[in-house]
């Protein structure tokens, strides 16, 4: 898993490949937030293994 869908991943069960931690996406620890690209990296709250990244909806403004 690498890209996490922001709207849904917080309610999904995420599993860490490294330490076998399992929990909700909302329990993941924020590893890093990139201001320029609005990408948020998440890592395992237990062992710190990188789980994936997501982009909040605000990062893609709709142009009509």
Contact residues for Zn ion (CB under 5 A)? 16, 18-19, 21, 44, 46-47, 49
C-beta of 27: minimal distance to Zn ion in Å? 12
C-beta of 5: minimal distance to Zn ion in Å? 21
| Strand (E) or helix (H) holding 9 | helix 6-9
Which residue number, 40 or 44, has a Cβ lying nearer to Zn ion?
44
Which residue number, 10 or 46, has a Cβ lying nearer to Zn ion?
46
Going by C-alpha positions, the residue among 49, 64, 59 that lies closest to residue 7 is 59
Q: What phi and psi values does residue 40 have, to the nearest 5 degrees?
A: -110, 125
Rounded Cα distance, 8 and 22, in Å: 16
Which residue number, 19 or 59, has a Cβ lying nearer to Zn ion?
19
């Amino acid at each position: 898993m690498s890209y996490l869908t922001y709207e849904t991943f917080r309610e999904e069960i995420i599993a860490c490949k490294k330490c076998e931690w399992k929990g909700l996406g909302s329990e993941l620890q924020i590893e890093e937030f990139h201001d320029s690209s609005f990408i948020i990296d998440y890592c395992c709250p237990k062992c710190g293994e990188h789980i994936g990244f997501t982009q909040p909806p605000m990062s893609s403004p709709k142009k009509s």
